[in-house]
């Protein structure tokens, strides 16, 4: 980790997420990163206007002297293995339906399954919470209006493959 921040929840190559309170988390954008805070905020707001699958955007703020921060709701993930298979099937069915709603509206997450050469767990961006399955980290997500229909359709096709892999992972544990 390049910098250690108090109350760090997670970190990657470009950003660190910190706990701000029991209800809020902040994704820090320091110096010149590959991800754009405004674009990420816009994608979160778009997805939030469709359904509750993507973590809720709250606001943008300045953090310290050299960072900006995307403030979002804080999620507390559950271990899905604590739930019976039938409940996990229901969770997954709702997740799949909400993901399809986002696709139809013109949003694709693009990071359900991490590439095998990336550190972290395979499905790091998929959380089971007290309200069902939720998605975090829309940094590489895409809006159809921004990428056009051909590229968007390619992203959807890939995401459907990732969804099937997640289904197997989620239900077979």
One domain, residues 167 and 135: yes
One domain, residues 95 and 68: no
One domain, residues 49 and 102: no
Query: What three-state secondary structure class fits 24?
Result: strand
- For the chain, helix, strand, coil in percent to 5 are 40, 25, 35
The whole-number pLDDT of residue 1 equals: 43
Looking at 73, 90, 111, which one is the last position of a domain? 73
138 within a domain of the structure (yes/no): yes
Contact 71, 26 (CB under 8 A): yes
The closest alpha carbon to 165, from 132, 121, 134, belongs to 121
One domain, residues 88 and 163: yes
One domain, residues 108 and 142: yes
Residuewise pLDDT in 10s, the chain (173 residues): 456 788 999 887 778 999 999 999 999 998 655 568 999 999 999 999 999 999 999 999 999 888 899 999 999 999 999 999 999 999 999 999 999 999 999 999 998 986 655 555 679 899 999 999 999 999 899 999 999 999 999 999 999 999 999 999 999 97
One domain, residues 60 and 96: no
Per DSSP, helices labelled H in 4-69 are 37-50
Looking at 48, 73, 98, which one is the last position of a domain? 73
Domain region containing 62: 8-73
- 64's CB contacts (< 8 A; 6+ apart) are none
Q: What are phi and psi of 57, to 5 degrees?
A: -75, 135
The whole-number pLDDT of residue 9 equals: 94
The closest alpha carbon to 45, from 29, 34, 36, 58, belongs to 58
15 within a domain of the structure (yes/no): yes
CATH of the domain at 53: 3.30.200
One domain, residues 99 and 154: yes
Q: For residue 131, give Cα distances in angstroms to 27, 75, 138, 150, 164.
A: 22, 10, 19, 33, 22
- What is the domain count for the chain? 2
């Amino acid at each position: 980790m390049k910098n250690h921040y108090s109350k760090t929840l997670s970190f990657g190559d470009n950003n660190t997420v910190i706990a701000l309170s029991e209800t809020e988390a902040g994704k820090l954008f320091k110096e010149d990163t590959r991800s754009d805070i405004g674009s990420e905020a816009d994608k979160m707001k778009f997805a939030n206007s469709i359904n509750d699958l993507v973590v809720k955007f709250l606001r943008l703020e300045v953090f310290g002297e050299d960072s900006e921060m995307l403030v979002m709701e804080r999620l507390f993930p559950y271990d899905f293995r604590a739930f019976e298979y039938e409940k996990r099937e229901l969770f997954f069915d709702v997740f799949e339906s909400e993901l399809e709603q986002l696709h139809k509206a013109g949003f694709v997450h693009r990071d359900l399954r991490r590439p095998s050469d990336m550190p972290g767990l395979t499905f790091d961006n998929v959380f089971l919470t007290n309200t069902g399955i939720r998605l975090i980290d829309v940094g590489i997500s895409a809006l159809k209006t921004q990428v056009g229909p051909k590229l968007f359709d390619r992203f959807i096709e890939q995401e459907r493959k990732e969804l099937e892999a997640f289904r197997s992972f989620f239900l077979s544990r």
